[in-house]
Amino acid sequence: IVMTIMRRKNMISVKELRIGNIVKDKDGNIWRIGCITGMHKDKGSLILERRIDNGTIKWYTSECDVYPISLNERILDWIGFNDYDNHDYRNKGDITITKDYVLSITRLWGNTVVKMDIKGFHHLQNIAYDLYETSLDLNIFDDDYPGDTSLV
């Protein structure tokens, strides 16, 4: 029972995901959400995609098999957040993230309009898409992708 509770606590609900979100499996492999379906009775279903050698593999699974990718400095570097060595924050446009991963959006003549803790990369992807219609991607299908273990 304890294992089941722990697993459920760490997995991501399909309701939090959208096509293009980046997640990981229990082994730490990074996948992109390719499709969200309702094939399972009580749970959402996913089709995950990842690059393998010169091709793409697709995996049909339930939400029980996907986990969030925690934000870290390497991911923020990879997606283009500025690094201010003398300050405790990084930014990209008007999105600011502190070293404790508190996100704030500053708009309207410098007023902070949103402030929240953010831990998962998929949350940051969703916020960027909702506010700016822009996709934050780790480009896992690009030739210069450094590999899963270098970012997670």
- Which residue would you say has higher pLDDT here, 100 or 4? 100
Q: Model-level pTM?
A: 0.78
Q: Provide mean pLDDT across the span 90-106.
A: 83
CA–CA dist 54, 115 (Å, integer): 41
Q: How many CB atoms lie within 10 A of CB 122?
A: 20
Looking at every residue in the chain, the average pLDDT score rounds to 78
- Quote the pLDDT of residue 85: 63
CA–CA dist 74, 117 (Å, integer): 18
105-123 pLDDT, tens digit each: 776 666 767 778 888 899 9
